[in-house]
Amino acid sequence: MKAVGLYRYLPIEHPESLLDLEVETPRASGRDLLVEVKAVSVNPVDTKRRAPGLKNADTVELSPKILGFDAAGVVKAAGLECSLFRPGDAVYYAGSVVRQGTNSELHLVDERIVGRKPANLSFAEAAALPLTTLTAWELMFERMGISRTGSHAGASLLILNGAGGVGSIAIQLAKKLARLQVTATASRPESIAWVKELGADNVVDHTRPIEGEFDFVLCLSSSDFYWKQFPDITKPQGKIGLIVRTLKPVDLQILHDKSLTICLEGMFTRSTFQTPDMEAQHKLLNEAAGLVEAGVLRHTLKDNLGRICAEHLKRAHQRLEGGHAIGKLVLEGF
């Protein structure tokens, strides 16, 4: 089958950073589904796992490493222990960091982290949603304890990097479910228009000092840069949610006087460690599909870059590494 992968961890400009490949077709067993991938979207985690850093550029894989996490497609086969899906079902999901990725014609995924595709979305539109929806939902509602039924209605939320993939979902969840007062950061005219379109009440320029204090702060990029600002922009007993690792040791003492809480979200925790509640992601994606079908949530696909191939994936990686992507970048078909 066709796939896009790598043998070495290289800068995206290198001709071998991503390669078009022919690899063996996997088989479904246990609780795995074999999914015919119709569309994928690209996330910052894809670029981080391709580039030198996690692994040295001199590292050479004996077999190709296939990247990709977000996918939408059709179940072609199901393992004998599967009970949630059957062949022919249309699905969407965000995959796992400890298995081969979705940039392939056929992909194996544990059914417990798979949801039914929203019926009113195309495969490309659906592929834009899983990773960012899971990340924003788990961070806000599970890690930070924000009420998704409105018990915190009117509380203030600051979203740092509001126009990115996770921010684009977080704005919608905060407004439509939690009913919070949302301030999002954006600086360019197109990103300001995007976050307003999604429902942000206020927009502030992240290139300037942020004024005011907020009950909740979502830091969706540059955790190191914002760390020293957290005591100034968070109300006493407020909560701060992080999805990006700090690159250097941080000083927890500066959070002490206000009794601030740091909440960490790793969307792949459940699949990586096979946690007992792993099936929660299946249920979450199904619930999100219902919200999309009801018109409560909308997809965040911004650009479709064409078919799934090394050339087009390189373009997506370059745009994400440039730091100016709005919404989600999607590729469709082989």
The CATH number given to whatever domain includes residue 206 is 3.40.50.720
The residue from 245, 264, 283 where one domain ends is 264
Q: Dump pLDDT digits (tens) for 141-159.
A: 999 999 999 999 999 999 9
Tokens at 115, concatenated? 């949801």
Q: Which domain holds residue 225?
A: 132-264
User: In the beta sheet, which residues pair with residue 40?
Assistant: 71, 331
Q: Are 33 and 75 in contact (CB under 8 A)?
A: yes
Output the pLDDT for position 209. Answer: 87
pLDDT surpasses 80 at 74? yes
> Do 141 and 259 belong to one domain?
yes
User: In the beta sheet, which residues pair with residue 93?
Assistant: 71, 114
Q: Are 253 and 230 in contact (CB under 8 A)?
A: no
> Do 181 and 61 belong to one domain?
no
> Do 251 and 148 belong to one domain?
yes
Tokens at 159, concatenated? 């979203």
> Do 125 and 139 belong to one domain?
no
> Do 240 and 275 belong to one domain?
no
* Sign of CA pseudo-dihedral 104, 108, 114, 116: positive
> Do 155 and 255 belong to one domain?
yes
Q: Select the more confidently predicted residue: 187 or 254.
A: 254
Q: What is the pTM of this model?
A: 0.95
> Do 230 and 328 belong to one domain?
no
H helices within 184-260, ranges in order? 189-198, 223-227, 230-233
Tokens at 57, concatenated? 């550029």
Lowest mean pLDDT among 231-235, 246-250, 328-332: 246-250
- Which is nearest to 178 in space by CA: 291, 263, 84? 291
> Do 122 and 6 belong to one domain?
yes
Q: Can you tell me the distance from the alpha carbon of 226 to that of 186, in angstroms, rounded to the nearest whole number? A: 15
User: In the beta sheet, which residues pair with residue 234?
Assistant: 214
Residues 6 or more apart in contact with residue 315 via CB below 8 angstroms: 305
Separation of CA 71 from chain center: 11
pLDDT surpasses 90 at 208? no
Across the range 159-186, mean pLDDT stands at 97
> Do 258 and 144 belong to one domain?
yes
The residue from 206, 233, 264 where one domain ends is 264
> Do 296 and 250 belong to one domain?
no
> Do 278 and 232 belong to one domain?
no
Number of domains, the chain: 2
Give the domain CATH number at 30. Answer: 3.90.180.10
> Do 243 and 256 belong to one domain?
yes
The residue from 264, 289, 317 where one domain ends is 264
Q: Can you tell me the distance from the alpha carbon of 289 to that of 7, in angstroms, rounded to the nearest whole number? A: 36
